[in-house]
Structure 1
């Protein structure tokens, strides 16, 4: 009898924005929820896809396939839990297990990353400043595709803490150098769900051509994505000059013109929107208290190699953040 795994493509809505949580644990590793409960809660939360990322093991056969649907995709993956940091292997083959028995000083990381890249998968540096042994990410980011700047596991009433703040600052600094060479690593956010009530807090919103594993990974890899604390939050972010428009993760050729950057936010009461470039935080605007608002800012490619935004609550906790738009 053949073993069944989730299909790699769902019907979806065609090209558009899809919401998903790519760091999820079930009872098949150290989570407390069964796959059926995780899938149900993900759908109730408004997610379009999740990734199965059990510790150091592949998704079990005949467990997840029946939970996929025309409007719900399940991506295969693994959390590779090493002694010197954790990372996510997303888009692995059915039954594939990526070797976890390596550490920063043995020089084996490149071989392990290649195992994932050879099947078209994505390698994500997970919770780089997690507050427990082996949680600190000691590997260089070189070779990884994405950085999980927002991890929801070790938080309380809001999905944000000092460890996420440290990772965001580290990632933001790296953009200033990396985006010039085209080698920058996009940010993503995941819940790291282990318990009830965690899934989707936060999650990544990805633009892709279809609801499929390949398209989702391509959207994340290219940075055509932003991070939200919940499905109540909506963000639109564009940059334009002389009729040319670019969105998050894209590059805008400015030809020396003045760039108008626009951001619209829904679902975050009394939010503050800040604009960030290779010069750090350059502009900040407070929105009205009703949770909706639009702001704009102007710059040039000479002054800003890129622009990204953060949306924060009055207490400073992040509600949403985007990947950058590159300006040339």
Structure 2
């Protein structure tokens, strides 16, 4: 039996920054996977990723293969895709060798117990591809207890019969934001490739603001919603809201008082694309990008008009290029619960 070599949980010398990563990746150890961990690591580096999560179907078989493949340029987060009978979910940040049970469905009433097990280990629980059109792929559990929703899985649209309906997942998540923000317990979105084959990794991936390049810091950034989703490494996005001399970025809360709020979006890598801003009233503003793909969009609102603002950037064909978690607006400070 080969010696098990688990990856380190921290990359030294990498401080606070925006890091790109793909948290839904399969090797040949998963059904339908064709790649070795070595090829996945090479592909992640070629795609400009800083981290990836090993999420095999219901096994920790490859956990011990990643130590020799990680390095000072690539963090590997240990995890699992839990393929229960009525929905799949990602357990990220598992202890080496830990496997989460998957042999149940929504009627069994046991998923909460499994979520708590992952949370006790410091891990993150992600509702995966909620609208995947195949048996067990459609997510039937309530989102309660899950930390994050994977609203973008694989290419935005595809002719493949098993491709997730990303538009449906985004619409469902977007509808819930207004009520969730009002309760102070909104649930962030993320995007991953669900890689099984060559050429899939990092399409899309999530860009997260983390205090360092470590498993704990990356998961903390995802849990807080300090992240946005990129269709490729060519896409760059900056999204801020300012009012009364204060400003906030993606996933943060801005206390505006009675001051107007200025929303600012900077985009590159999306030629002739469209930027749209969304609030609890739906799409509130839209602007076009030039043929160079780089541009800045500004829009004015207030906490009275908008409880949150989030951004979408789409290619000319309507396919998503980038998608951000919201900036939450309030006139006065509000204590936020730490549980979801």
| Pairwise TM-score range, normalised by the shorter structure | over 0.9
Deviations 1:129-188 (A, max 9, x none): 001111110000000000000000684499xx7710000000000001001112111000
Deviation at 1:298, TM superposition (A): 0.5
| Alignment partner of 2:171 out of 169, 172, 182 | 169
1:256 to 242, 252, 258: 258
1:52-201 matches, within 5 Å, as 52-152=54-154, 155-156=157-158, 163-201=165-203
Paired with 1:57 and 1:90, the residues of 2 have a C-alpha distance of 13
Task: Tell me the equivalent position of 1:318.
Answer: 320
**Aligned CA distance change for structure 1 residues 209 and 187 (closer, same or farther; 3 Å):** same
Partner of 2:337 in structure 1?
A: none
Q: Retained in 2: the 8 A contact 1:59–1:76? A: no
In the alignment, what sits opposite 1:41?
43
For residue 70 of structure 1, give the secondary structure of its aligned residue in structure 2.
Answer: coil
- TM-score normalised by the chain length of structure 1: 0.97
Check if 1:305 corresponds to 2:307. Answer: yes
Query: Does the Cα contact within 8 Å between 1:153 and 1:193 map onto a contact in 2?
Result: no
| C-alpha RMSD of matched pairs (Å) | 1.6
Name 2:18's counterpart in structure 1. Answer: 17
TM-score of the aligned structures, taking structure 2 as reference length: 0.93
Q: Deviations over 1:58-80 (max 9, x none)?
A: 14353111011012100000000
Number of residue-to-residue matches in the alignment:
326
Secondary structure of the residue aligned to 1:144 is coil
The one-character-per-residue Cα deviations of 1:87-106 (angstroms, maximum 9, x if unpaired) are 00000111100010111011
Q: What is the DSSP-based 3-state SS (H/G/I as helix, E as strand, rest coil) of the residue aligned with 1:41?
A: helix
2: CA distance, partners of 1:71 / 1:22: 16
Residues 67/2 of structure 1: CA separation in 2 closer, same or farther (3 Å cut): closer
Instruction: Tell me the SS of whatever aligns to 1:33.
Output: coil
Per-residue deviation, 1:3: 3.5
The answer (yes or no) to whether the contact 2:270–2:289 under 8 Å persists in 1 is: no
Conserved 8 A contact 2:37-2:62: no
Listed as ranges, the matches of 1:166-315 within 5 Å are 166-315=168-317
Separation of aligned partners in 2, 1:61 and 1:75? 9
